[in-house]
Amino acid sequence: MTNRVCLVHYHEIGLKGKNRSTFENQLVRNLRCALRSFPVKGIKRISGHLLVTVEDGFASQELAHAISRVPGVARVSLAYLCGLDQDEYCAAAVKALGEAGEFTTFKVHARRSSTDYELHTLDINRLVGGVLCQEFPDKKVAMHGPDVTVIVMVVNASVYVYADTGRGVGGLPVGTAGKVVTLLSSGFDSPVATWMVGRRGATCVPVHFSGRPMTADTSEYLCQDIVNALAPSGMIGRMYVVPFGEKQREISLAVPQSLRIITYRRIMFAVAERIAQIEGAKALVTGESLGQVASQTLDNISVVNEMVSLPVLRPLIGSDKLEIMSRAEEIGTYDISSQDAADCCTLFMPRRPETHAKPDQVHEAWDSFDHDAMIDDLVNSIEYVDFDQCPSYKPPRGYRARHRELAPAAFERDDVK
């Protein structure tokens, strides 16, 4: 009996040289986590691919789709697993081509990693191609630009035959590029920025600044929905929430109206960097796009950036809103981000925000209130939600001790997790 399996193809991982196995092993761990709801029998490496088998021997389109959403996967192919019997793999090729949908032209492309197999790739091409021409007499063979390519891959004592292949998200396996803290809102931009950095192998730790207690906590639940929408990628294990509304009110009373947003963001960056220190993260990530809103001009980005010593990654800096929204649809966060929810971004907004802030004016406004005490209070008030989605996420050791060190002035509450 011919089984159907999923062959996982990767691209960048294959270029990694001596540490390639590290990336492959991490991708295997991530796939095991992402496929927990499927009856997966095993995941193993074979000749530059990963092989995913299921208990009933028949891998489904749903399984292939779930695999395609895991970073590090370039393509996924539903393949028939056969022995070296020629009749068996020729029959599998007929099945594979028959399932390819509408087509006019095709070709056969054989690959062979088992050099002791008696047939050369050219012989396999002729053998399988002859059978397919008999079974599909109205179709034509095209060596260049065919509608469908039937792959026949000989590996050890097995033959994998497929024509159905789908594109994956590419990138690198989550957990191979270190940890980052991302500033996450319920809007379109920051979830896409988080996904893009996670796709490059980073383990993401989002921080959401809520308008609570001045607003409802709706945005917090939307952010949790966003994290769950990104679950197939396996990039998030914990989300921090910072109740920011009361501190925003204090800032709005202390600084000039035009500099409120810049001051909010300076505080947010400072708190995010403290959380990054707790987590051992090496960078911050934001969803800023150059010139999209008042706070995202070069002058304003500069005076906010001076608050932190960590690198600040901005993967969307050159993207426009339509591109960002299109990517949000692809990754499954668009519908969530389309919902209205009051959060810290809409709280105490100035009528005329400064678009080209002068450093001297920003520093004067900054010194008009006790910013150090405010940062300590906010760090001490952080809450978090854990998600069982990211095998590469490891909670910080001695969290409470580290938390006390970073917020020495206000570590009194026992209900902080």
CA-based nearest residue to 67, from 28, 104, 93, 11: 28
Residue 408: count other Cβ atoms within 10 Å of its Cβ.
10
For residue 249, CA distances in Å to 75, 213, 293, 367, 379 come to 50, 11, 21, 16, 17
Q: Distance between CA 385 and CA 208 in Å, rounded? A: 11
Tell me the one-letter amino acid at 28.
V
Contact 234, 293 (CB under 8 A): no
Half-sphere exposure of 209 (CA within 13 A, CB side): 27
Gyration radius of the chain's alpha carbons:
26
Determine whether the annotation assigns residue 184 to a binding site: yes
3-state secondary structure of 73: coil
Determine whether the annotation assigns residue 356 to a binding site: no
Determine whether the annotation assigns residue 257 to a binding site: no
Half-sphere exposure of 121 (CA within 13 A, CB side): 13
Determine whether the annotation assigns residue 287 to a binding site: yes
Determine whether the annotation assigns residue 183 to a binding site: yes
Token pair, residue 91, equals: 């029959």
Q: Are strands 3-9 and 105-112 parallel, antiparallel or unpaired?
A: unpaired
Could you identify the residue written with the tokens 């790739």?
121
Q: Are strands 49-54 and 3-9 parallel, antiparallel or unpaired?
A: antiparallel
Q: Distance between CA 407 and CA 373 in Å, rounded? A: 9
CA-based nearest residue to 71, from 232, 181, 310: 232
For residue 52, CA distances in Å to 31, 56, 154 come to 9, 12, 17
Q: Distance between CA 60 and CA 76 in Å, rounded? A: 12
Q: Distance between CA 76 and CA 9 in Å, rounded? A: 6
Q: At residue 228, what are phi and psi to the nearest 5 degrees?
A: -65, -35
User: Which residue positions form the known binding site for ATP?
Assistant: 183-184, 208-209, 265, 287, 296
User: Which residue positions form the known binding site?
Assistant: 183-184, 208-209, 265, 287, 296
